[in-house]
Amino acid sequence: MKTTGAFLAGVVMVFCMAASGVAGDTIKVGLVDTYTGPATTFTNDVLDGFKLAVEKINAKGGVLGRKIEYVTRDDKFKPDIGLTMAKELILKENVDILMGTINSATALAVSDLCKKEKIPFLVTFSKSDKITGEKGHRYVFSMNENTEMVGRATATVLARKPYVKYWIAGDDYEYGHAIANGVFEHLKSMNPKVQLLGQSWWKVGETDFTPYITQILAAKPDFVIVATGGAGMVNFQKAAQSTGFHKRVPFYQHTAIELSTLMPQGPNAPEGVYGTANYLFYYPDTKENKAFADEFRKAYNRYPKSGALYGYLAAEFIAKSFEKAGKIDREKFIDAMEGMTLDSPVGKLEMRACDHQVLLPVFFGVTKKSPQYEFLVAGDIVSVPAKEYMPSCEEIVKARAR
């Protein structure tokens, strides 16, 4: 018993003596994200895109005479660890701004925390539409697309196509259902002729899709919406390639045309798969995009994926908002960022004031082989600008009032 007491007292003292971060003459940004496991293929891009922009900003003298410094914390894709790390960054490291995370549950929990602590939180990969939708508030901003946006944008393109009988399939978790429902519900409202023949849902991390594929083919739909996330993207495309699924029935996946999905498969990815993406390093073929991609490649020895854009946007918004605010004040920072537009590799982007969502264009395309690269790229690209698909401010206000 006494040993326990002594032990605990010792432990408490040791950790009390840990130094805490002291806010100095810098702008401190805290990044809480998943740096362990398969998600790192995405989150490393966010960090590297952020770092690239920050280095440039700091080289030009920083923001309001201060350099931007950043600290990272790994949440291991677990929301309770993410919450703890966020608290550590806010309470111990005294960061000015918080950024992160790829896990939507973590993002929502941290968003709630930031609302209480009154510190701005920039979401950089989580795709839950609740973040800037019904659970949105003054202190949270999103740098990336969400499932509602993807659903609407995709529906506008699919509504113009001749397909009628749809099948929905995907990873059995919130993201999968949100994407699939987002696409189909909006599709139906734009094109009432479409019908849903049936649905198939498999566990997240499923490795063998053959039984699902044979079952879907037996039902003979015109088109399949496949709502896979993360690792499921490549797994499903591999299964499609082996069974020739994509040749028998056209299908769509969000991020099917992205580098993260196509590069690991090399020249063997399936052609003719429909998909959407928010960043492609080769499109649009503008000076800004080429410059960004070349700089990224020089610094990190790989092509940038969508995460790089989000990280870059976060850095740019942070810098420009503080400059506009004129001082290091969180409330003025938020006021400055609302409605701000800035230049990005994909053109001029606006941070919409009513919901704190970056208005990104969505690129809809089809996978095809490329003479230039070892991997497949997107072809027949249709660019859907934000104003064509975003939910209106009234709808957002209504959702948040619930």
Partner 1 sequence: MKKTHVALFLLLAALCSLPLFLPRFYTYIAAIVLLTALLATSLNLAIGYGGIYQFHHAVFYGIGAYGTALMLTRTPMPAALGLLVGPLVSALLSLVMGVICIRLSKLYFGMLQISLGSLVWATVYRWYSFTGGDDGIHGIPLPDRIATPDGAYYYTLAVTALCFFAMHRIVGSPFGKTLQGIRDNPVRSSAIGVHVKAHQLVALVIAGLFGGVAGSLFVVVNNSVFPDMMFWTFSLEVLIMCLLGGMYTFFGPLAGASILVLLRVFVSVYTQYWSLLLGAILTLVIIFLPDGVLGYAVRRFRPGEGRRA
Partner 2 sequence: MGWLANLVSTGTLSQVLVGLSRTTILFIVSSGLTLILGVLRIPNVAHGSLYMLGAFSAYTVISLLGGGLSGFLAALVIAPMIVAAFGFVLERGFFSYLYDREHLMLLLLTFSFALIIGDLVKIVWGSEYRSVTVPEFFQGSAEIFGLPIPYYNLFLLLIGPFIAVFLWLVINRTKMGKIARAAAVDAEMVSAVGINVGWVFAFTFVLGCFLAGLGGALIAPMVNISLGMDHSLIMEAFLIVIMGGLGNIWGALLGSLIFGLTQSLGILIWPQFGIVFPYLAVVVVLFFRPKGLLSSTW
Q: Assess contact for 224 and 199: CB atoms under 8 A.
A: no
Q: Which is nearer to partner 1, 22 or 218 (CB)?
A: 22
Which of partner 2, partner 1, none has residue 400 at its interface (CB below 5 to 8 Å by kind)?
A: none
Given the complex with partner 1, which of 83 and 224 has the nearer CB atom?
A: 83
The single residue among 33, 45, 48, 74 that binds partner 1, judged by CB under 8 A, is: 74
Number of residues that bind partner 1 (CB under 8 A): 45
Nearer residue to partner 1 within complex by CB, 16 or 218: 16
> Which of 27, 28, 44, 73 lies at the binding interface for partner 2 (CB under 8 A)?
44
Q: Which of 91, 219, 353, 393 binds partner 1 (CB under 8 A)?
A: 91
Among 56, 66, 67, 87, binds partner 1 (CB under 8 A): 87
- 61-66: long-range contacts, CB 8 A cutoff, minimum separation 24: 62/27, 63/27, 63/318, 63/319, 63/322, 63/323, 64/322, 64/323, 64/326, 64/327, 64/328, 66/25, 66/26, 66/27, 66/328
Structure tokens given for 287: 């000076």
Which of residues 36 and 189 has its CB atom nearest to partner 2 in the complex?
Answer: 36
β-sheet bridge partners, residue 352? 357
Half-sphere exposure of 338 (CA within 13 A, CB side): 13
Residue 326: which residues within 8 A CB-CB, separation 6 or more?
64, 332
In sequence order, what are the beta bridge partners of 363? 277, 383
Q: Distance of CA 73 to CAs 93, 123, 270, Å?
A: 11, 15, 37
Stretch that binds partner 2, among 1-9, 34-42, 307-315, 335-343 (CB under 8 A): 34-42
List the interface residues with partner 2, window 190-249 (CB under 8 A): 198-203, 205, 207-208, 210-215, 217-218, 231, 233-235, 238-239, 241-245, 248
- Residue by residue, DSSP assigns 121-172 as EEE-S---TTTTTTT--TTEEESS--HHHHHHHHHHHHTTS---EEEEEEES
Residues that bind partner 1 (CB under 8 A): 1-5, 7-9, 11-12, 15-16, 18, 20, 35-36, 73-74, 76, 78-81, 83-84, 87-88, 91-92, 104-105, 108-109, 111-113, 115, 128, 130, 135, 172-175, 177
Residues that bind partner 2 (CB under 8 A): 36-38, 40-41, 44, 172, 198-203, 205, 207-208, 210-215, 217-218, 231, 233-235, 238-239, 241-245, 248, 264-266, 268
